[in-house]
Structure 1
Amino acid sequence: MTPFFENQPPARPKPGGVVVLAFIATLAGRFVLTRLGLDVPVINDVRVLLYLTLILCLMLEAHRIGPAGRTAGGYAVLPIFGLLGYQILSASWAPSGAITGPMIGDLAATAFLILVYYTLAHWDRDHVTRMTLHLFHIAAWVYFLAAASGRGHASNGRWAALGGGPNVFVRVMFLGCITSLYLYFRSGQKLYWLMPIPAFVFGALASGSRGGLAAIAITGVIAIVAIRPKLRWNRVAKPLGFLVVLSIMVALTAGPVIADFVQTRFVDATVGQGYTSDRDVLFAWALRLFWQRPLFGTGINGFHAIANLGEGERYVHNLPLSVAAEGGFVGLTLLGLAWFGLWHAYIRTPRAQRSSEARTSAYCGIFIGATCLFSGDYFDARIMWIMLVLAAVHQASPPDAAPADRISHPWSRAST
C-alpha cells in the first residue's frame, strides 16, 4: 500500500534571501555612494544596483513562486498605483522651475517596492511578513548600537545612524518596539523579548523627533481602542511591571546623558517657546497652494518651486497636505481611495484567518503613516505602503482549509 505521505503534494519552498534583499533595498532608501566618499556615475544611487539585483532574484525564483491560487485583497494595490501614477503624470503641469526628475524616480521606486512585496505576499504572505518583522528588529538594534557609539549624530546632538536623519532613526526605534511586542507574544510571552523596548525608547527620545513621539502615541491609542475589550489586568500586570523596572534602570544609568538635551528640545523649545521647526509655515503654504489650484494642484515639486522656502524646506512634511498642494482634490481622492482599499481588504479577511503577522504589519503601517503627518516626503512613505499591503493582501484559502495559525495574545483577538 502506498504510504499516505507519498500522496501529498510537495511543500512549496518559502522565500528567504530575496526577502532580505527586498528589506535592504527598502531600508536603504536613497543611500548614495558619495556618503562613503565615492562618486560612481549611474550606480552612485545604490537603488539602481539593488533594484536590478532584486529583479534578477525574483526572475530566478519565479518557478518557485508559481501559481499559488487566487490572491485575496489584491485589488487594494490598484488605488496605490493609481495615486503614484497620477503624481508622476502631474509633472506635465508642474511649474517651469520645478525639478521633477528625482521625484519621478522616487515615485517609481516606491511603486517598484510595493510590487515586489505584493509578489512576495502572493508567494507566502505570513512567512514574508514574519521575516520582515524580524529584520526590522535586527535593524533597530544595529541603528541603536551605531548611534550609541556616537556615529551619525546630527550637528545639534540628536541621535541618528547609518546616514539617515533623526526622523528616520526614530521610525526604526519604534518599529523595534512594535516588533519586540510581536516577538514577546509569539514566543509565548517570554519576558526577555521586552528587554529592548526601554533602550529603543531611549534612542527615540535621543533623536529629538517630536513627530515620532506623536506618531507612536497615535498608534498606541488605536491599538488600545482595538484590543480594549480583551484586555485583562492579570495578563498585562507582569510585562508592564517588568517594563517599568527596566525603564527606571535605563533612566538612572543612561538618563543623565541626554537629560539636558531632552529638557532643551522637548520642554524649553516646544512647550516654552512654541518651536515647530517651521511646520506651521509649511502647512500654511500647502493649504494656500491647494486653494489656489484646488482640482489638480501644482504638480510634483510645485510646492518647492512656488513657495521657495529654501533647500531645507523642499517638501511639506505632511503626506495629505503635500498631496493636496501638488495633486489637488484628485490627488486627495486617490490617496483616500488607497487607504480605504487597504482597510477594506484587511477587514474583509475572516477574523480567524488574520494572523499575528498581519496584525503587527498593520500596526507598523499605521505608525509609519502617522509619522508621515509630521515628516518626510513621498518616498519616505514607502514602508507605510509596504506594511499595509502585507497586512491586507494574502493567499485566498480554499473553503475547507484549516484556519491560519494564531498566537494567543491581545493583538490576535482584536481588529485594528
Structure 2
Amino acid sequence: MTTAPAARPGLVVMIAFFVTLSGRFTLERVGLDVPIVNDVRVPLFLVLILSLVLEAHHVGSRPAEGSHALLGILALLGYQALSVLWVPPGSITGPMLGDLLAIAGLLVVYFNLAAWDRDRVTATTLKLFHAAAWVYFLAAASGRGHQANGRWAALGGGPNVFIRIMILGMITSLYLYLRYDEKLIWLVPIPAFMFGAIASGSRGGIVALAITIAVALLAIRPRIDFERIAKPLALVAVLGTVLVITAGPSIAGYVQSRFVEATIGQGYASSRDVLFQMALRIFLQRPILGTGLNGFYTVTDLGFGERYVHNLPLSIAAEGGFVGLVLLLVAWLSLWHAYAAVPLRERSLESRIAAYCGIFVGAASLFSGDYYDARLMWILLLLAAVRPAPAALPVPR
C-alpha cells in the first residue's frame, strides 16, 4: 500500500511574495480616499489568507521549531501599536497602525509556511526575488522610473527600494549557483545587478552590501577554498569589466557627481545626519517610552518631505524609547537564538542564504526606509530561523 505524497505549498508562496513586494498603494488617485477601504493591501491580504487556508486545510496543524522568534517580533510590533496611547496631540497614526498590522499578518503567514515546508518556501521565495531583480533591472535600463537627477528606480519604487532588489538579485544569483551544481551561468547576472545598484545612487545600500559581505566572510572564513572560487570570481570580474566599458559612460558623470563630488568632496548625507541627531535628541528628552507611533514627524514638524528617521533603531528609540529598544533587541536575539539552535552542518543552504538576505535588508534599514520597509528583513530572518518540527516517531507497540 502506497501513501499519498505530502502536500507541499505552491501557489500561496507566490501570492505571499507578490503581496510582500507590492508595498503599499492607495486608491486616492481614482477618487477613493476612505481609510482602509482604499488600501489595496486589504483585498490582497484577503486573497492571501484565503489561499493559505484553501491550500493548507488538508495538511492539518504543523508544529514548528523556533516559534519564539515570531513572538519576539510580534511583541515589538504590539508595543509600537500600543504607543499610540501617548502620541503628541495632532499625530496621525492610522496609516502607521495599518503598516504594523500588515507586517504582523505577513509574518504569521510566512511562519505557517515555514512550519509547513521551510526550505521549499524559502527556495521559491529566493527564486522569485531573482526574477523580480531582472524585472526591475530591465525596467530601469529601459529608462522607465528614473528620477529627475538620473538615479535608477523602477515600478513606482524609489532608488533605495531599487537597490535592495538589485542586491537581493546578486545574493540569489549566488544561491542558484550553489544550488544547481555550481554552473557559472547563474553568476552572469551579478555584474548587471551591481551596475543597477550603483546607478541607483543609494550610498546606504552600498554600505549595507559591504556590511553583509563582511559578515559572510567572517562566517565562512575557516572554510574558504580559494581554488574553488577563483574561476567564479574571474568570470564576474571579466563580465563586470565588459559592462563598465560598454555601459559605464552612460552613468559615469552621475556617479562622479553623486559618489565622488557630493559624498566625498562635500560630505553630503541627504540630511540623514540631521534626522539622526533629531531622533537622538527626542530619545534623550523622552527616554523611557518615546513620543509614540509617528511622533517623530509630529514633534520635528519637518513638513511633507521627511516623515521618518531613515534608521530603524533610532526611529524605535525616538518613538518607543528604551522599552522599544529592548524589545527590538529581544526580537533580534530571538531570531539569532532560533537560527543558532541548529548545528552548522545541519543548516540548509536556503536557511543560510535567507539569513544573509535578511542581514542585508537590516543593514540597509540603518540608512533608509520606515517600519514597513523593514518587513523584508523580518520575513527573511524568520524564514532562516523557523523550521518544521521533526516528525514524531511512532510509539512501539
TM-score normalized by the length of structure 2? 0.96
Asked if the contact 2:115–2:389 (Cα under 8 Å) also holds between the matched residues in 1, the reply is no
Asked if the contact 1:31–1:163 (Cα under 8 Å) also holds between the matched residues in 2, the reply is no
Q: 1:12 aligns with which of 6, 19, 23?
A: 6
Alignment of 1:31-50 (within 5 A): 31-33=25-27, 38-40=30-32, 43-50=37-44
Q: 2:259 aligns with which of 263, 266, 290?
A: 266
Alignment of 1:253-332 (within 5 A): 253-332=246-325
Distance 1:43 1:153 in 2: 30
Q: Following TM superposition, by how much is the alpha carbon of 1:353 offset from its aligned partner in structure 2, in angstroms? A: 2.6
Q: Following TM superposition, by how much is the alpha carbon of 1:400 offset from its aligned partner in structure 2, in angstroms? A: 7.7
Q: Following TM superposition, by how much is the alpha carbon of 1:77 offset from its aligned partner in structure 2, in angstroms? A: 0.7
The answer for unaligned runs of 5 or more in structure 2 is: none
Q: Give SS of 1:142's match.
A: helix
- Give the match for residue 385 of structure 1: 378
Asked if the contact 2:171–2:353 (Cα under 8 Å) also holds between the matched residues in 1, the reply is yes
Distance 2:351 2:19 in 1: 21
- Give the match for residue 367 of structure 2: 374
Asked if the contact 1:303–1:315 (Cα under 8 Å) also holds between the matched residues in 2, the reply is yes
Amino acid at match of 1:355: S
- Give the match for residue 346 of structure 2: 353
1:193 aligns with 2:186: yes
Q: 1:63 aligns with which of 57, 64, 67?
A: 57
Q: Following TM superposition, by how much is the alpha carbon of 1:396 offset from its aligned partner in structure 2, in angstroms? A: 1.9
Q: Following TM superposition, by how much is the alpha carbon of 1:46 offset from its aligned partner in structure 2, in angstroms? A: 1.6
Asked if the contact 1:159–1:206 (Cα under 8 Å) also holds between the matched residues in 2, the reply is yes
Q: Give SS of 1:117's match.
A: helix
- Give the match for residue 139 of structure 1: 132
Alignment of 1:80-99 (within 5 A): 80-99=73-92
- Give the match for residue 154 of structure 2: 161
Q: 1:103 aligns with which of 96, 100, 109?
A: 96
**Segment drifting more, 201-210 vs 38-47:** 38-47
The answer for unaligned runs of 5 or more in structure 1 is: 1-5, 402-416
Kindly provide the CA deviation profile for residues 231-263 of structure 1, in whole angstroms up to 9, marking residues without a partner as x.
021011000000000000000000001000000
Q: Following TM superposition, by how much is the alpha carbon of 1:10 offset from its aligned partner in structure 2, in angstroms? A: 2.3
- Percent identity at matched positions? 62
Asked if the contact 2:339–2:386 (Cα under 8 Å) also holds between the matched residues in 1, the reply is yes
Q: Following TM superposition, by how much is the alpha carbon of 1:33 offset from its aligned partner in structure 2, in angstroms? A: 4.3
Asked if the contact 1:12–1:64 (Cα under 8 Å) also holds between the matched residues in 2, the reply is no
Q: Following TM superposition, by how much is the alpha carbon of 1:55 offset from its aligned partner in structure 2, in angstroms? A: 1.2
Q: Following TM superposition, by how much is the alpha carbon of 1:12 offset from its aligned partner in structure 2, in angstroms? A: 1.2
Q: Following TM superposition, by how much is the alpha carbon of 1:154 offset from its aligned partner in structure 2, in angstroms? A: 1.2
Distance 2:286 2:131 in 1: 45
- Give the match for residue 26 of structure 1: 20
Amino acid at match of 2:51: C
Distance 1:350 1:44 in 2: 46
- Give the match for residue 106 of structure 2: 113
Q: Give SS of 2:248's match.
A: helix
Q: Following TM superposition, by how much is the alpha carbon of 1:31 offset from its aligned partner in structure 2, in angstroms? A: 2.6
- Give the match for residue 195 of structure 2: 202
Distance 1:38 1:108 in 2: 25
Q: Give SS of 1:64's match.
A: coil
Amino acid at match of 1:64: H
Amino acid at match of 2:212: T
Amino acid at match of 2:166: M
Q: Give SS of 1:65's match.
A: coil
Q: Give SS of 1:340's match.
A: helix
Q: Following TM superposition, by how much is the alpha carbon of 1:43 offset from its aligned partner in structure 2, in angstroms? A: 4.7
- Give the match for residue 115 of structure 2: 122
Q: 1:244 aligns with which of 226, 229, 237?
A: 237
